[in-house]
Structures are given as structure tokens and as C-alpha cells.
Structure 1
Amino acid sequence: MMKITPHTRLSAYIDSVKEVLKGMKILKNKDIVQRLVNLVKAYVTDSEYYMRRGDYYTGIACISYAEGILDAMRELKLIEFKWPKRKRLPKVLVAGTFEILHPGHLYLLKKAWELGEVHVVVARDVNVAKFKGRKPVVPEAQRLEVIKNVKWVDQAYLGDEEDIFKILERVRPDIVLLGPDQPIDEETLRREIKQRGLSAKIIRLRELYKEYPLTKTHDILNKIRDLLEKDLNSN
């Protein structure tokens, strides 16, 4: 599976905005539109600057502002244009509880972003209790809100309470990315994908993220418990 580099992604976004600027039609309020177009061009220039520096995430933020201004002007019927067709990025599905977001989660999400458009399904509270034997510390709505705001995530959803594989039908992924120790049986997953008429490729990361000691929710919770017990005993 080809890795989609941040440079490739950003370059495609910049090219799309430039193409719109060349072909768009001004419908009214020419002076206002021209000022806004100048702002769009400034964001394009900024984005190209950050791309040259290798700061792709800031570059993507800049070009996103440019796209937003163009979309707003079109919505207000100030200009007329169509976005050029871009090659569709593969949809990458990642699933998890994401109870306490940690570097291991971020590593997984970044790897997913390198493969395509990232869709994340967050486990429901009832399913966490079923599979982990305990209720989650952080409720599902809060866990979803956190994941939605991770820069490598394009879309995030709550899973289905009855069928944990139902998200496959909604997202229709090209890739399902699994963490190295994620307790999902690949044969079962492959069967569920096939039964839904899909052909997603399953990729499992080979190595755990080990740069920091606390990269598992279980370890973080144990650390918190130990510190609380120590604090209580000292009093």
C-alpha cells in the first residue's frame, strides 16, 4: 500500500485552489470579491512557504482557510466555480475505545493519516463494559469529542451498540488499520468485511509505540490508582 506523504497531500490541495482561482467567475460585488481573493492568494503563498520548510500541518491549515473563503463566497453567490476532481484518497478505518488519549493512540492515528483519509469509530460505553468487563472512565460523547479534534482525523463516529462491525457499511473503507496489540481477530474481521460486500485491506501495525512508558490506557489507570493509594496511605 502506497504511503501518502504530507507533501503529496498538501501539494494537491494547493493545486486545486490555484485551479479555482484561474477559472472562477465573479458574479457581483467585484471589489469585495477581489479583496477576499487577495486573502486567498496570501493563504496560498503562506501554504507554499510552509511546504518548502517541511511544516506540512501548518501548510494544510493555511490552504484550508483558503478553501473555506472560496466556499463561503460561492455559498453567498459572489462567485461561481467547481472544485477540480482530485484522486480520491483511500478511506482508512481505525477503531478503539480512546478512553484516555495517549501517545500510542496518536501514533496509530498518524500512521492512518499517512495511508489516506482517516475515519475513526469510537466504542460505545455499553460495548466497553461488555468487552473490558468494566465501565469506561470517560463517557462515549467525551471520548468522541476528543478524537474529532485530533489533527489526523477526518471523520469520527460512535459505533453501533448491537453490531460493532456495522460501521463498515457506513464508511466502506479501503483499509482497516489495527494497532499491534488490538484484540480483534483478523479472520473474523475479514469475514465481516466480505459479508458486507466490501474488499477492505486489513493492515496491522507491527510494533508498539515505545518512546514513552505510558502508552496504554491500562498502564495509565494503574499508575493513577497507585498514586492515589500512596497518597491515601501517607495520610
Structure 2
Amino acid sequence: MEERVRAYVLNVEKAISTLSSMSLDEESRGIVELARAYLSDSKYYLEKGDVFTSLACIAYAEGLLDALKRLGKAEFGWEPLSKLLARPKVLVAGAFEILHPGHLHLLKKAWELGRVHVIVARDSSIRRIKGREPVVPEQQRLEVVSAVKYVDTAVLGDEEDFLKPVEHIKPDIILLGPDQWITPEGLSDKLEGRGIRGVRVMRLPERIGDDLYSTSGIIRRVCSQIGGVKKQEL
């Protein structure tokens, strides 16, 4: 039941994404926004484990969009449910300290491959790997990532064993970011060593954008701006 509701959610999400790029009249745009609100409610209740309320919300959203289609106000297609149910699980992992367009690019590419599951690094992992305190605490980072429209589910990582959530999620594909420390070959070896087989490991080929498409670049810009303000005050 839950998987079918997730498929309905994805179908409505894809339809709204298509309609958002169209030139619609004001009334139609209002209906799309109402459908988007029901979609948001559906995802919220689904993550809370209330599948039936989630189903009711997504049914309202689907009905609103169908009404637009039947009235000739918008043209789009629904994906066959069987195709959506067959979409592979795609796993993405990262710190997601300051969500920026580079993160959204990674998550969108993952969404194009299948249903996106995200592992958000723990505060302790950031301290160990980056040698500093996290900019944003783990619960807040998890909340922000969970709200991204491309993300199906998001969970916190394990503080000691980074492969434990992978064992639980059982992904078909793991998509690495361009700057992540481990190589696809290295991760494949570690998965094989744990008996996790049949996972396709890929890497996003290159970063996009400028320094503001990275957490470290944003931090440097903020520090520079603060330094400039302090000098002006002097």
C-alpha cells in the first residue's frame, strides 16, 4: 500500500513539474498551487506513517489536475502506475550543511534515475571528516533535505558504520557527488565485502556553477562579507 501511494505522489509531482513550466491562466495557476499544497500534505503524512491520510491528500491533488486536463486548461500525461512502481531506488549521501544549487542538481539527477533516498551525515561524522563543527545541526539538515521535492525519503546516517543505512535502504543505484571522498570502485568493493551485491555505483561527472555552488564557497563568501563590514565599522 505504501509503495503505491508513493507512486501516486511521484506521478502528481511529475505532472506539477510539467505544468509549472507551462503558460497557464491565473485561475489554472491557482488550481495547480492548490494541488501542490495537497501534494505537500500527502508527503508529510506519508513520512509520518499515516498512509490513508496521505492517499486522501494525493487523491485530491490528482483530481484537481485531472479537472484542469478535462476542461482543456492544461495538457499533460500520467505515467503508468506499473512503471512508477518499478522505478529503482537511488541513494544519495552527504552533509547538506547549507543547501545550495549544487545539491539540488545532484538530487534532480538522482530523481531522473529513480526514487531518491538520502542519507544525511551525522554531526559527529562532519567533526571527524571535516575537522570542525557542523554549520547546521543534523536534525535541521534532515528537515531541509526531506522537504526537497526530488527526495522520497531522508534519514540520518549511522555514527559509526556508514554502510548500515545502505543495508537498510537496499538501493539499486548509488549516485556519488563529484567531490565525495570515496570512488565508485572503492565503494563497490566495500559493498561487496559486506555482501551487498547488485548495486550500481555512479558518480556525477562534474560540479556545476561557481563557488556559491559549494558549502565551503558560501562560508568563504560570508566570512569575507563579515570581514568587510567590520573594516567599514572601524
TM-score, normalised with respect to structure 2: 0.67
Other structure's SS at 1:114 match:
helix
**1:226/1:171 Cα in 2 relative to 1: closer, same or farther (>3 Å)?**
same
Q: Which amino acid aligns with 2:11?
A: L
SS in 2 for 1:214: helix
Deviation at residue 198 of structure 1 after TM alignment = 2.5
Counterparts of 2:66 and 2:119, CA distance in 1: 33
Aligned partner of 2:208 in structure 1 is: 209
Distance 1:101 1:85, change over 3 A: closer
Give the TM-score taking structure 1 as reference length.
0.67
RMSD: 3.1
Residue 209 of structure 1 contacts residue 215 of structure 1 at CA under 8 Å; is this kept in 2? yes
Is residue 189 of structure 1 aligned with residue 187 of structure 2?
yes
Supply the AA of the counterpart residue of 1:220: I
CA distance in 2, matches of 1:216, 1:205: 15
Instruction: Return the offset for 1:181.
Output: 1.8
Q: Which residue of 1 aligns with 2:11?
A: 10
- Deviation (angstroms), 1:188: 2.8
Query: What stretches of structure 1 move > 3 A for 4+ residues in a row?
Result: 37-43, 45-51, 83-87
CA distance in 2, matches of 1:177, 1:87: 20
Task: Indicate conservation of the 8 Å contact 2:123/2:134, yes or no.
Answer: yes
Contact kept? 1:10, 1:51, Cα under 8 Å: no
| More deviation, 194-203/137-146 | 194-203
- Amino acid paired to 1:52: E
Over alpha carbons, which structure has the higher Rg?
A: 1
C-alpha contact 2:110 2:116 (8 A) present in aligned 1:
yes
1:84, distance to aligned residue in structure 2 (A)? 7.2
Structure 2 residue 150 is the aligned partner of structure 1 residue 152: yes
Q: Is 1:198 matched with 2:220?
A: no
Q: Structure 2: where are the runs of 5+ without partners?
A: 1-9, 16-58
Could you list the per-position Cα deviations for residues 117-139 of structure 1 after superposition, in whole angstroms to 9, with x for gaps in the alignment?
Answer: 00000000000000001110100
Cα drift, residue 40 of structure 1: 6.0
Amino-acid identity (%) = 44
- Name 1:179's counterpart in structure 2: 177
The Cα of 1:39 is off from its aligned counterpart by 8.6
1:117 to 115, 118, 131: 115
